[in-house]
Structure 1
Amino acid sequence: MSEMKRDTVERSSADREIVISRVIDARRELVFAAFTEVRHLSQWWGPEGFTTTTRAFEFRVGGAWEFVMHGPDGTDYSDWITWTEIVPPARITMLHGEYRDDPNAFESVPTFAPDGETTRIEMRTVFPTKELRDEAIEKFGAIEGGQQTLASLAGYVTEMASKGSDS
């Protein structure tokens, strides 16, 4: 894709996206494993105070992760993710909604860039409309929640790395 074309694509989705990033003190293979293996996901997924219960999990293109996030106030949030692209250990593209075929589902693309012994993870999320993005920010605290989720991932992976666990 030409640079000009790429700029046009990015500008056209800018009012519908949220981008959150963090540097994690662990190798990218470990960070990628924590993001793609169900035994790890349930240990860190979600903002502060949330827990996650997995109903089904199949990590492959076309596979799905069905789960419930339990909020600190007792509210349960049903979630469904399907993976549309997997490029280990560099990138994942996933569609995230409340249920299969959710018309309000959004696309998230976490990328994992190595920097020596650390990893820079960037999560780019594009919503179908600006209004859905704004609602996610205002009603659900998507930016703070995303930052907290990546902080939880960082804490979990850093602890794994300090124990010498490779996955």
Structure 2
Amino acid sequence: MTVVSVDKDVEALSFSIVAEFDADVKRVWAIWEDPRQLERWWGPPTWPATFETHEFTVGGKAAYYMTGPDGTKARGWWQFTTIEAPDHLEFDDGFADEHGAPVDELGVTHATVKLEPLENRTRMTIISTFESEEQMQKMAEMGMEEGMREAIEQIDAVLSEPANA
């Protein structure tokens, strides 16, 4: 099993998920850096992602949509705030309308991704922080934990292939 722990801290307004992979840090970094690899795991299997833009630089933006089983498209955006290859990434994350413009109703979350070497393995920690307890609760009701678990469980298949596959 890839996911080793999940923690919700209402006081800190954070949700963290820790996973371990049979790959080195540089290989795991590539699944964030390369949008074609990111598409293969970002979003649960029933809601696969398509990245329309992925400007992987500090201040750069990513725009994507996830397509549901009935063809519904849920759009999102990221703005990269920290990129320290190959082990630290941070970005703001939000929902978007059908034109890709940010939607304010659900607010913005901030994601911090840390990769740590464990001999020939890598531990990935993703921490999402929220603007309010209400936002955190709403995201939980939307299935954030289950969706993240299902998404992360797809990473092993991506890592089993060469980084440029």
What pairs with 1:11-160 in structure 2 (closer than 5 Å)? 14=12, 16-99=13-96, 102-103=103-104, 104-138=107-141, 140-157=142-159, 159-160=160-161
Q: In 2, are the aligned partners of 1:13 and 1:126 still within 8 Å (CA)?
A: no
1:21, distance to aligned residue in structure 2 (A): 0.8
Q: Distance in 2 between matches of 1:73 and 1:166?
A: 31
Using a 3 Å threshold, how does the CA distance of structure 1 residues 101 and 13 change in structure 2: closer, same or farther?
Answer: farther
- Residue 148 (structure 1) shift: 1.2
CA RMSD of aligned residues (A): 1.8
Name the count of aligned residue pairs. 150
Distance 1:13 1:59, change over 3 A: farther
Aligned equivalents of 2:78 and 2:163: distance in 1? 25
TM-score, normalised by the number of residues in structure 1: 0.83
Q: Which runs of 5+ in 1 are unaligned?
A: 1-10
Does the CA contact (< 8 Å) of 2:43 and 2:147 recur in 1?
yes
Query: How far off is 1:144 after superposition?
Result: 1.1
Q: Distance in 2 between matches of 1:106 and 1:46?
A: 16
- Per-residue deviation, residues 80-113 of structure 1 (Å, max 9, x unmatched): 0010000111110100001365540100011111
Q: Which 10-residue stretch deviates more, 93-102 or 81-90?
A: 93-102
**TM-score normalised by length of structure 2:** 0.84
Given that residues 85 and 93 in structure 1 are in contact (C-alpha distance below 8 angstroms), is that contact kept between their aligned partners in structure 2? Answer: yes
Calculate percent identity across the aligned residue pairs. Answer: 25
Runs of 5+ unmatched residues, structure 2: 1-8
Q: Hey, what's the Cα distance between the residues in 2 that align with 1:102 and 1:63?
A: 18
Give the aligned residue type for 1:111. Answer: K
Whose Rg is larger? 1
- Structure 1 stretches of 4+ with a deviation exceeding 3 A read 99-103
**2:81/2:91 contact within 8 Å kept:** yes
